[in-house]
Amino acid sequence: QVQLKESGPGLVQPSQTLSLTCTVSGFSLTSYHVHWVRQPPGKGLEWMGVMWSDGDTSYNSALKSRLSISRDTSKSQVFLKMSSLQTEDTATYYCAREDYGWDYWGQGVMVTVSS
Amino acid sequence: ETTVTQSPASLSMAVGEKVSISCKTSTDIDDDMNWYQQKSGEAPKLLISEGNTLRPGVPSRFSSSGYGTDFVFTINNVLLGDEGIYYCQQSDNVPLTFGAGTKLELK
């Protein structure tokens, strides 16, 4: 069955770089787009960027200078790297598959930016 | 960038009532609007996708309508289990954008 699972550190120090992995199963990264979205505590959803099925990427312009998304199709993994983290980057980070809407989501990983 | 304006921010309804949530977009997005339900501590769940399409397994009490810039999400005969936050999302253009959410509480 289709599954996505985010993994990464729960705590990151200010100014450091966040690295997250989305490991997928039940579908191919070359057939579906995978998005990253985040949600600060008690707040709404913010789209961060996408790994298109053809390997191209698009980013939220507000984050573009700090954000990089890549993938390893052989391992069915999509990676997110975001630099220069600040306290306002504290959020739950999700990856989600797109199929006329985001039909499958990971459980999310809570990332706290604090010294 | 397409801005999505969602209203109301919150609703308090009784079981059996009808819920209506509005989303207006700043640009014409055809019918590329998706609707999600998020329960406390969980990832959002896709209820309705582009073209006002009810997703498999989602009760027919949920529906949506709209095209262009004005969209409405409806829950008929709302149940206790429908409590949560509802988000609209436009998928017509990048950056994909969400409404701010509507918190639904049942009395």
pLDDT reported for residue B67: 97
Contact B55 A61 (CB under 8 A): no
**How near does any CA of chain A get to the CA of B13, in Å?**
21
Contact B95 A102 (CB under 8 A): no
pLDDT reported for residue B90: 98
Q: What is the four-CA torsion angle of B42, B44, B45, B49, rounded to 10 degrees? A: 180
Contact B49 A103 (CB under 8 A): yes
- B99: Cβ contacts below 8 Å, ≥ 6 apart: A44, B4, B5, B6, B23, B87, B88, B89
* Positions of chain B with pLDDT under 50: none
- What percent of chain A stands above pLDDT 90? 99
**How near does any CA of chain B get to the CA of A61, in Å?**
8
pLDDT reported for residue A89: 98
* Positions of chain A with pLDDT under 50: none
Q: What's the CA gap between A62 and B64, in Å, rounded? A: 30
